[in-house]
Structures are given as structure tokens and as C-alpha cells.
Structure 1
């Protein structure tokens, strides 16, 4: 338990955590408001998908340049500026500019994310000592899940009473919490991260560095495969409920809640254990892949929910350990560019995975999609473990699925 609260000993981290919780809730309220607005006007899920794509494309195109900028520029003023622009974009939605404005805001948000994402990761590692980074990232995941649950719940109530405009306004105000936290931080307590030498500050230098890190490349490949075929449960859950499980809209809401609870538990488990190792990453990846196969065989909603809970917990553990290892196992002066690569892989897995899982559900059925996806991700986890062992010159030794057992057994 001591590891869980280690990051909270840092005043700057406490400020950041509180502001992040508020901002995340506001962000998800805006997501809900935008979805409501688009569906009310067009009834088109494809238009919603276009908005998501417009947000993801700049990260794919500009992510490497954003990472290079994050490694050059001081993170704190850069983040204050990005939060101010995001607040203005949220306020712009209040002008009722129609779909062109929504598309423009989505595209601009993606451009900001291409720089802001690496800068956030770099700044986060400056808030705590390296020994507490894993717990800090895990607690951040808990706060993100809690903010998402709270934001969606409150937004779901408000949107029916006030309409989506109030949600956009609340989101704009929520960015002020982040700006205030950044302004109130004690800069003397921030850990100073080294910057790259003059000849190593460009995009190509970052790409060459990543290409020379075999373990990092294997972890990124695993993240892509498991993220694309083993993450898109919002698609497969809906297909399972509407199909073989013969559930209702209430059943889907229940499963979504269980998934969110599992995500919170996974973050707490990892923060409490403080074990963000490659063995945990590989063991968790294998465990959630096997559980995905089991979920494809679930006979009813109850048993499916019982499997969704540890899958969600394991997914958070896996993603958090990926981020932790990527940061701890690479040079700090390359951190922005390495984190940009993580963001690009995450965007690619989302853009490829959701349509791929949807297509599998339509062609092979929801059970077939889960089974096939689980088999592929299980094979990927085993191959990744063998590849990492070979790259490190060690014998393959997978742990038991530690992240899915009680925390006291991990100590």
C-alpha cells in the first residue's frame, strides 16, 4: 500500500492529480454532448466515427514532430498554452456552427494532442522520482477512469435537461483547473529532465533511437496487436448483448459499468503493488487474451460480466506497464519522441481495431470475433515473450497472471 501513495507525497503531483480528475470529467462530458448533438442532427454513427478519425489523424501525421518539440520545449508553459486553446475550442462549440465547426474543432484538437501527448508524458515524469513513476501512472489511470465515469454520469443527466451546450461550457471551465494547478506548482520541486544534444533533437534522431531498441519495438508491437484485437470491447460487448447473449439496453449499460469498475480496480491493484515489470506486462497480456477466448464462450450476461471485470482490470495494468516501461527503459532526452511513438501506435490500433472487430462480428459472429481475436492476441503474447527473452539473452519464463490476483499476494 505504501507504493500506492508514494506519488501523493509530492505536492505538485497532488495538484496535478486533482486537476486531471476535473479535466477528464469535463472532457467526457463534452464527448457525450458532441455524440448527442451529432446523433440528434443526423442519426448517423458514421458521422461520429468521422469526428473520431479527425481527432486521430493529426497524431498519426504529426506525432513524431510533436515528440521532437516536447523534447525541446519546456513542458509547463507548453501545457498551459494547450489547455487555454482547448478551452477556447470548447467555447467555440457554443456558437452552434454546425458540422463544419465540429469537424474543425475535432481536427484542431488532434493537432494539439500531437504535441500535448508527449509533453504530458514528459511533464508527468518530472513530478515524481523514477521509483514512483509506475505508481503515479497507475493512479493516473484510476483518476482517468473515475473522471470518465463521473463525467459520463453527470453529462447523461444534464444533456437531457439543458442540452449539450452546458456540457461544452463545463468542459471549457474544467481546463481552468489544469491551468491553475500548473501555475500553482513549485517549479523548484520539479525534476529536471535532460535534453538531447544539438545533433540529436530531430525527428530522424528519435526514429533511429527507437529502431535501435528491440525490446521497445516488441512492446509497441504487442501494444498494437492487443490494443486492436483485444481492446475494442465497446464494439464486441454491444454485438454480444444484441446477439448470442439476448440481452437488453440495460444489459449493455451493466456491462459498461462493470468494465469501468474493472478499469479502476486494475489501476488500484497496480498502484498498490508497484510492480511495473516486463514479466507483469507479458503475464497480463497472456491472461487477458485467454480470458477473451473464455468470454467468447460465455453462456449469459452474468458470466460475460464476470469475465469482463478481470479483462478490464488487466487491460489497464497492461497499458500502464507499457507506458511505464517505455519511459523507464529509454533515455530521458528521447522521452517525448518515444511517447509520441506510443501515441501513434495507440491511434493506429484504435483506427484499425474498431472496424476490424466490427467486421469480424458481422462475418464470424460476436462469439467468433472474440474467439479469433483471443487466439491471435494469445499467440502474440507468447511470441512477444519469446522475442523479449531472446533480445535480453534470457530463457523464457512467464509468470502466473499476477495482476489478476489479490494485491496482498503480489507483495
Structure 2
């Protein structure tokens, strides 16, 4: 199952281009963070830039999903990649805060339309039965691209400054454009278009609201994403606080998290088991591990718990994406994916400040433990709710059948 998606030529092109583009994106993220910290010394300013990228997804995501279900994806994606390249090269013109915020805001607007189109287009590159493995393999490539991009960017930013990172990212989008142009249309699955009168945002919202399984899965994604996945905040709080590790420990923990993410993606891609049972089981497991992580006595102890948390987080997120796509109509795919993107953005906007506030108020350990308790309760409640729905098979939550006398 692991390599099944790679049998498709179009997917191989897409996977290779995505790896290159992801590495370039994270190099630009590192370069922008360096510029912001060098000119302002403010971590809050970095958070404001992230928020500027997320807000357009919240405001325009539903519209982007509706367009994704109606427009041909390939030319639209080529346009989006070209615009992203222009934004990357625009950063070469200076380090003005106005420019940085303008680029972040424009990037968010592109993401609002590009995200649903990417999801819909990607699902057309592989047979339906290998979609779960394709999504898991995509998570592996994204994690690998992030590790490679951050590692190479960390070396280059000290040698050349951030401008080179922006150039590399701009050029990386050409790889995606080339891959899109080289794909063979005849080897793509044809996804149905929305019927007349069902192509708008309201129809998409009405459809999502009528799917209780999807609503529960998205609810779990929001809570576990906001309180259980903002480890960039909690790792820094633990390293600088009770673990007394400093910046070196934070770098180690970030590396461990990235390695765990790759391992989780490989595990899921190899098994191909993107079921609701795996979803709730993983959600409960990573929530309990988060609670345990707040009790870790040392940096190495915290890293040991963080590794399976990172692996489980990737499994959980990938299964969420798989179930949301497989359990909904293909002609609604773009709008459903847009809703998922909105939930993801909202969890980041709400969760990061909430986790930071809890760490400041209760201490890093107290914040982790409380968040772990909340996410465990929510994960168990979600599992129980899914078990009650007609047609959902979650054997771990059922009573054993009575044996005949």
C-alpha cells in the first residue's frame, strides 16, 4: 500500500514537485522569521504575520471551495503557483514591515482559493482506493520537505542572508508549474461537477451540516488541533521553563517532532488503514500522551514522549482528511475541503494564544496537563458519538455479544 500511489505517473510528478516546493516554502518561512526578529526583536510580530496569512482563509475559504467545485483545477493551480512566485520575488525589494504584511495577506488570499483546489485535484490523480495512502505519503513528503528546507535554510541564512532563500522559494514554484503542465489528462480520474443550483457556498454549507460524521470529525480536529497540536508553543515553554534546556533543547525537540511526523506518515501509508476506529484511537492516545508529557522530568524524557505524539498527530490529521473526503460526495469535495481548511486555520488562531496563555498562567507543565485532560475527554466523547451514529462501526466501543447458553 505504501508505494501504490507512486504507480501513477501524474502522482509521481506531483509528489516530486510538492517536495521541492515545500522545502522552498519552509526556507522562506525561516528567512522571513529571521528578518522580523532582526528588525523588531518581537516574537509577537511573527505571530501577527501568521495571523495575516490565516484570516483570508477564514473569510474567503467557503467561496474558494465553491469555485473549486466548478472551475477546472489545473489552469487555476498554475495561476496560483505563478502568483506565489511573484510574491516570493517581491520580498527581495526590501524588509519593510508593510511589504511583509502585504505578502502574508496576499499569500493567505491565494491559499483560500488554492487549498480546496489542491485537495480536489490531488484526489483525481490516484484511484479512490489508494487515496488514503496518497494522503499519508503526502504527509511524509511534506514533513521531509520541511526538515530539508529548514536545515538548508538555517545554513544559508547565516552565509548569504535571507534574500537567497526568497529566490530559491520563488524558483521552486516553477517545479510545480512544470509538473502540472507535464501531467496527462487522460490518466486523471474525472470528478463530478456540482449540479445546477448546488454549486454555491450555501449549498455546500447545508451539505456539510447534514453530515453528522463529518461534523464530529471536524469538531475533534478543531479541539485536538487547537489544544493538542500547538507544540511549537508548548515545546518552547517547556524548554525555556521547567526543563531548563534553552535554545539547544528547543532545536532538539523540533527535530524529534519532525522525525516523528515522518514516521507517522510512513506508518499510515504502509498500513492504508484510514478508518474512524484509527481516528478515535489515535486521538485518545495522543491526548493521553500529551498529559504524560507535562510530567516529563527532563529534555530527553520529554523528547521520548514527543516522538509518538508527533507520529500520532500526523496519523490523526491524515485520517481526518481522508474520512472527510471519502465520506462525502465528490461534487462537494472542494467545499468540504474548504470547511476543513477553515477549521484548521481557526484552530491555529484560537489555539496558539490559548496554549500560550495557559502556559503563562498555570506553568508549562500545568498547561500541558490541562490541555491533555480536555482533549482526552473530547476524544472519548467524539468516539462515543460516532459509535451511536447509524452505520459507524467502532467495535472497541461496543459491548461484547452475549454467548448462547
Question: Would you say same fold, with TM above 0.5?
Answer: yes
Q: Encode CA deviations 1:245-276: one digit per residue, 9 max, x unaligned.
A: 12132111111110000000000000000000
Q: Trace 1:9-408 onto structure 2 (pairs within 5 A).
A: 9-96=7-94, 98-392=96-390, 397-398=395-396
What is the Cα deviation at residue 397 of structure 1?
Answer: 3.6
CA 1:105 to 1:184, structure 2 compared with 1: closer, same or farther past 3 Å? Answer: same
Could you say what secondary structure the match of 2:124 adopts?
Answer: helix
> Any idea what the Cα deviations from partners look like across 1:133-180, whole Å, max 9, x if unmatched?
000000000000000000000000111111111100000000000000
CA deviations 1:50-96 (Å, max 9, x no partner) are: 11011000000000000000000011111000000000010111111
Partners in 2 of 1:382 and 1:393 — Cα distance? 19
Structure 1 stretch displaced more, 257-266 or 293-302: 293-302
Asked if 2 retains the 8 angstrom alpha-carbon contact of 1:282 and 1:398, the reply is: no
Deviation at 1:97, TM superposition (A): 5.5
Cα-to-partner distance string for 1:222-248 (whole Å, 9 max, x where unaligned): 000000000011111111111111213
**Residues 58, 114 of structure 1: 8 Å contact kept:** yes
Give distance in 2, aligned partners of 1:249 and 1:358. 18
After superposition, the C-alpha distances for 1:279-312 in whole angstroms (9 at most, x for unaligned) are 0000000000010111011111111111000000
1:49 Cα offset (Å): 1.0
Q: Distance in 1 between matches of 2:49 and 2:299?
A: 31
Please state how far the C-alpha of 1:392 moved relative to its aligned partner: 2.5
Q: CA deviation digits over 1:198-240, x for unaligned, max 9?
A: 1100000000000000000000000000000000111111111
Residue 393 of structure 1, CA deviation: 5.7
The answer (yes or no) to whether the contact 2:276–2:394 under 8 Å persists in 1 is no
In the alignment, which residue of structure 1 is the partner of 2:403?
none
Q: Deviation above 4 Å: which 4+ runs of structure 1?
A: 393-396
**SS of equivalent residue, structure 1 residue 299:** coil
Q: CA deviation at 1:102?
A: 0.8
Contact 1:266 1:312 in 2 (8 A): yes
Q: Deviations over 1:92-128 (max 9, x none)?
A: 1111161111111100000000000000000000000
1:49 and 1:249 map into 2 onto residues whose CA distance is 19
Going from structure 1 to structure 2, the CA distance change for 1:124 and 1:396 (only over 3 Å counts) comes to closer
2:396 match: secondary structure: coil
* Secondary structure in structure 2 of the residue aligned to 1:127: coil
CA distance in 2, matches of 1:269, 1:243: 33
Distance of 1:394 and 1:204 partners within structure 2: 27
SS of the aligned residue for 2:191 comes to: coil
Is the 2:35–2:95 contact (alpha carbons within 8 Å) kept by the matching residues of 1? Answer: no
5+ residue gaps in structure 2?
398-405
Task: Note if contact 1:385-1:398 (Cα within 8 Å) is conserved in structure 2.
Answer: no
Cα distance in structure 2, aligned partners of 1:327 and 1:395: 18
Q: How many residues align?
A: 397
Work out the CA distance in 2 between the residues paired with 1:184 and 1:236: 43
Q: Give the superposition deviation at 1:398.
A: 3.2
